[in-house]
Structure 1
Amino acid sequence: MAQSPQTAPIQTVKDAWWEPKIDRATLKGLMKRSNGPGFFFLAIWFSLLFVMGLAIHFTQGSWLVVPSILCYGIVLGFAYAPSHECAHGTAFRTRWLNEAVFWLSSFIWVESPTHRRFAHSHHHTYTWHWKVDAQMGYTNPVKLITWFGDIIGLVEFWPRAKLTVRHASGRVLDRERVYLPDNQIPIMVREARILLAGYLLLITWAIVGQTWAPFLYFFIPRFTGAIGVYSFITTQHMAMQQDVYDHRLSTRSMTNSWLSRVLYWNMNYHIEHHLFPTIPFHALPALNEVIKDQLPEPSPSLLGAHIEIVQTILAQRRDPSTHAYHPLPPGTGGAAPMNVTS
C-alpha cells in the first residue's frame, strides 16, 4: 500500500530527499557553530536601525518622516533572519545567546519561539508539499494577487498577528497539533501570552505617556516595512515545483549584494540551506563552493527572481502544470515524488 508524506515515517521521508555528494569531514567542518558571525551580522542590523531611527526622530513634523519610517521598517522586518537562524539553533555557539536573540527577534517578527521552531522544522521535513508543509501558504498555479500580497507582507502579517492572539487564548488547531508535540503546546501558549503582554505594554506606554514612540518605532514600521523582507522570502519557493523530493526543484537560490546577504543572513543560498539545515548561515557560502557543480544556476538577482516568478504565473494561466525550473547539472541525478510501500 502506497503511503503519503503524512503517513510515511519521518525517517523514510528524510531518506527520500536528494542529497549532494560531499566529503564527510568537509561536512562536519561546515557544521561548526560560532558566536562571532552572529554578533557581526547583528551589529550591522542594529547600526542600521539606529541610523534609521535617528532619521525618524529628526524628520518628525515634516513629510520626510514617511520615507524615514519606511526605511526603518524595511530594516526592522529583517528580524526574520536572526529569528529563522535561531529557530535552527545555529545562530550562535552559546545556547543562551541563541535563545535570547530568538526571543528578541521573535517579538519583532510576531510569532512565539516554540511555534516558529516546530512549524519551521516541519517545513524542512516536507518542503513545498501541498497540504503537508506547515509553512506552505499557497499552491500552483499561483495568482498574481497572491504574489503581490506576499511581497508586501499582507498574506503573512495579519495571519501571524491573529495566530499569536489565538495561541494566547489557548486555542490550538488540529493541523498545528501535527507538528507540535503535546508537551510543547503549554509552552507555546505561555510564550504567546508573554508576546501579547509585551505588545499591550507598548500600547499602554503610548497612551499613558502620551507618546507616539511605540507606533513610530515599532507598530507602524513593522507593518509598512514588511515589503523589504517579504520580497526576499517570496522568492524561496514561489512558483517552483511542488510535491517532489529534490530541493533543487522546489527551492530557489539567488545572487544578492553584500548588504542584502548580511540582512538576510545568507538565506539567498536557500537550496544549500535546505540541503543541510544544520549548517550555520555563515558557512553557506563555503558550502556553495563545495557543491555548486551539483546545483542549478541561482537566479541572478532579487529582481531576476521576481521576473521569473511573474513570467511563470502568467504561463500558468495557459498551462496550470507550469512551474519555474532551473536546469540541473548533467549526471547529478534527482528525486521523484515519493511512493513508499508499507
Structure 2
Amino acid sequence: MDAAGPASDSIRRDSQGDPRSTPGKLALRSLAARSDRKGLVRLGGHLAMLTATGCLLLWSRGTLWVVPALFAHGVVLVFLFAPLHETIHRTAFRRRALNDAVARAAGFLLLLPADYFRCFHLEHHRFTQDRARDPELAGRPLTSRIGYLHHVSGLPYWRERIATTWRHARGSVTERYVPAPRRPAIVREARWHLAGYALAAAASLAAGSTLLLWLWVIPALVGQPFLRLYLLAEHSGCPEVPDMLANSRTTLSNAAVRLLCWNMNLHSAHHAYPALPFHALPAADRLLAPQIALRSRGYAAVQRVIWARLGAESAR
C-alpha cells in the first residue's frame, strides 16, 4: 500500500496561488458534476475484482494458495467501504436512488448500515478533529503500541458494530448526531440488517454450505486490518484545527490502492470539498496542492510515523 518516497510527511502551506480565491472556487465548482456512467464503471471494476478474487479463493481451497487468495479477497471486500463512503455522500452517481441502493448493499456486507453511517460521517465532516464533537474521536485515543495493534486487528470495529446495531434494533438510538426524526428509520434499518444476517445464516445451515464463510465472513475478518491501517492515515497525527486542508492527510500511493479506495487517498481535497465526486479528486488535488498541509509518501510511511510517535509517548 506504499508509494516510493521518503518515510515522512511533507508539510507545505504556500501563500501563493490560493485555489480558494474566486477563480479557484470556480475551477473547483466545475469539477462537481456527478456521473452515473463513471460511477457504474468504477463500481463494475470493483465488483469484477471481487468476483475474480472470490473465484481464486474457491479454486485454491485445499492448497497453500488459499492464504494469499484469502487476503486478496478480504482486502477487496472490506474496501467496499469506498463505494459506501462515496454513496452516503451521494456523489458516486447522479441519481439519488442509485446512490442509496449501492450504499445499502455495501453497508449490509460491512455491518455498517448506510443511514446510520451517513449521520455519523456527516457529523465527522462538520466537526473534523474537534475532540468534543467529532464522532471518530469518541472513545480513548491511541496512546500505546499495544492499543494500536488492538485497533488495527479490527476487533474493536466488529465489537462496536455488533453492539450498536443490536442496540439500535432494540429501539435505543441515543447518538446525539442522529436527529430525532431519523431515529425510527435507524431502528428499522438495524432490524432489517439483523433479519438479513439471520436469513443468510439459516439458508447456509439448511443447505449445508460454507460458501458464506469462505466468501464473506472469514475474508471480512482477514481484510479488516488493512482497512483500519488505511483509515488511520486520514487524520491520525493531523492538527486538531478547523482548517480542512490542515486537519486531513493526503497520502500518495500506487494505482491499485487508488483504484480500491476510489481516489479517497486524496483525503484533504475530499474534506475541503466533500461535494466533489471521486473522479474529480485528482484534478481537485492538483488545484489545492499549494494549500494542503500534510502529504505523505505512502501508507507504510504514515504507519511508521504513527508507530514512532506512539513509542515516544509510551517512553515518557
- The aligned residue for residue 183 of structure 1 is 181
Offset from partner CA, 1:15-52 (integer Å, 9 cap, x none): xxx99435232122111111122112212211111111
How far apart are residue 62 of structure 1 and its match? Answer: 3.1
Change (3 A) 1:152 1:269: same
How far apart are residue 318 of structure 1 and its match? Answer: 5.5
- The aligned residue for residue 304 of structure 1 is 301
- The aligned residue for residue 157 of structure 1 is 158
Change (3 A) 1:149 1:250: farther
Matches of 1:293 and 1:209 in 2, distance apart? Answer: 58
- The aligned residue for residue 21 of structure 1 is 21
- The aligned amino acid for 2:21 is K
CA contact (8 A) 1:144 1:310 kept: yes
How far apart are residue 310 of structure 1 and its match? Answer: 1.4
Q: Find runs of 4+ consecutive structure 1 residues off by over 6 angstroms.
A: none
Matches of 1:37 and 1:277 in 2, distance apart? Answer: 17
Unaligned runs of at least 5 residues, structure 1: 1-17, 320-342
- The aligned residue for residue 316 of structure 1 is 313
- The aligned residue for residue 81 of structure 1 is 82
CA contact (8 A) 2:32 2:275 kept: yes
- The aligned residue for residue 170 of structure 1 is 171
Matches of 1:21 and 1:117 in 2, distance apart? Answer: 30
What are the within-5 Å matches in structure 2 for residues 1-342 of structure 1? 20-21=20-21, 23=23, 24-137=25-138, 142-173=143-174, 176=175, 178-242=176-240, 244-317=241-314
**Greater RCO between the two (CA within 8 Å, min separation 6)?**
2
Unaligned runs of at least 5 residues, structure 2: 1-17
- The aligned residue for residue 12 of structure 2 is none
How far apart are residue 234 of structure 1 and its match? Answer: 1.1
How far apart are residue 247 of structure 1 and its match? Answer: 2.5
Matches of 2:82 and 2:103 in 1, distance apart? Answer: 10
- The aligned residue for residue 8 of structure 2 is none
Offset from partner CA, 1:207-253 (integer Å, 9 cap, x none): 110010111111111112112222211111122222x2122332211
How far apart are residue 202 of structure 1 and its match? Answer: 1.3
TM-score by length of 2: 0.88
**How many equivalent pairs are there?**
298
Change (3 A) 1:26 1:180: same
Matches of 1:147 and 1:240 in 2, distance apart? Answer: 17
- The aligned amino acid for 1:202 is A
How far apart are residue 73 of structure 1 and its match? Answer: 1.0
CA contact (8 A) 1:89 1:98 kept: yes
- The aligned amino acid for 1:261 is R
CA contact (8 A) 1:123 1:134 kept: yes
Matches of 1:156 and 1:137 in 2, distance apart? Answer: 13
Q: Percent identity?
A: 30
- What's the secondary structure of 2:251's corresponding residue? coil
How far apart are residue 137 of structure 1 and its match? Answer: 4.1
Matches of 1:155 and 1:103 in 2, distance apart? Answer: 22
- What's the secondary structure of 1:239's corresponding residue? coil
Change (3 A) 1:124 1:135: same
Matches of 1:231 and 1:206 in 2, distance apart? Answer: 32
How far apart are residue 164 of structure 1 and its match? Answer: 1.3
Matches of 2:143 and 2:78 in 1, distance apart? Answer: 24
- The aligned amino acid for 1:273 is H
Change (3 A) 1:230 1:288: same
- The aligned amino acid for 1:222 is A
How far apart are residue 114 of structure 1 and its match? Answer: 1.2
- The aligned residue for residue 322 of structure 1 is none
